[in-house]
Amino acid sequence: MRRHTHQSVLAKAVAGVALLAFSFLPMTATVVHGQDAATVIPTLTGAGTATPAGPMGVQIRFDDGGNPETLSTSIRILLLMTVLSLAPSAMVMVTGFTRIMIVLSIVRRAIGLQTAPPNQIIAGLAMFMTFFIMRPVWQEIYTNAWEPLQAGTIGDVEAWDKAAVPLRKFMLRQCGESELRLFHELANEPIPESPDQVKMGVLTPAFMISELKTAFQMGFLVWLPFLVIDLVIASSLMALGMMMLPPMMISLPIKVLFFVLADGWTLVIHGLVQSFL
């Protein structure tokens, strides 16, 4: 009895998966009655492919949308779900989020605070700063690609190509020549004569390495004055014979006070924004 129950549940699950799969395919069904059901011949037309009628006289035809440059609604939904699932990775790969996040984390470590501000605050600040810095790029993508696509003047493929142009310009402006040369050599490809000929498959990793390099350079410059404060406090305590007192107990409030009086967050944010211009 239990075995028959398991088989019934399995059959229902398989039927549900099959129904879900067919729901993503644009199709039309035509019921053929009488003797016409036995004489249906498969045909291939511009509108789709007709299949022979089954025992119930049902003919199923899969449409391609009519326009080869326009994707069907089901494919658009599938692509949209894929883009949404890859959105966090895309933000890290092709925007300035990596640089901003690393610099803000180094600022916190340089001051000596382990959990203030928390990771959620740093990540949120980095995300909104990324939106602010990338706003001209998004605006150009919206104007040149999204609006014509919604108006129906261009197709999906052309809209994708137009959307990649401002993003490529931003990445090329931030990417170093040594990183581009490195990944062209690793890919066994000749160095292109113009920046427009750089492929996205080479540009994306080169851009990420350039962002890491720039972030650590800025982080070193931010850490340097706090390191000087630590050395001065440690040397002063040793000169006073207070070797049992941890230097961090004295230097931490001094570094926080120095950061606040210098309006450190404003200076760091200003420097990050200017580094992308």
More confident of the two residues 257 and 196: 257
Please write the tens of the pLDDT for every residue from 31-50: 444 444 444 444 444 444 44
Tokens linked to 260: 């606040």
**Model pTM score:** 0.66
Chain segment 230-269, per-residue pLDDT in tens: 888 888 888 887 777 777 888 888 898 888 898 889 999 9
State the average pLDDT for the chain. Answer: 75
Residue 102's pLDDT is 93
For 66-125, the DSSP string reads S-TTS--HHHHHHHHHHHHHHHHHHHHHHSTHHHHHHHHHHHHHHHT-SSSS-HHHHHHH
Q: Which residue has the higher pLDDT, 87 or 184?
A: 184
pLDDT tens per residue across span 71-113:
566 776 777 777 677 767 777 788 889 899 999 999 998 888 8
How many secondary structure helices (H) and strands (E) does the chain include?
Answer: 11, 3
Name residue, tokens 């982080």. Answer: 219
Q: Which of 145, 147, 148, 149 is nearest to 163 (CA)?
A: 145
Query: Is residue 169 scored above 60 in pLDDT?
Result: yes
Cα angle 40-46-50, degrees, rounded to a multiple of 5: 25
pLDDT tens for each residue of 93-103: 888 898 999 99
**pLDDT the model gives residue 218:** 92
Give the pLDDT confidence score for residue 57 in this predicted structure.
52
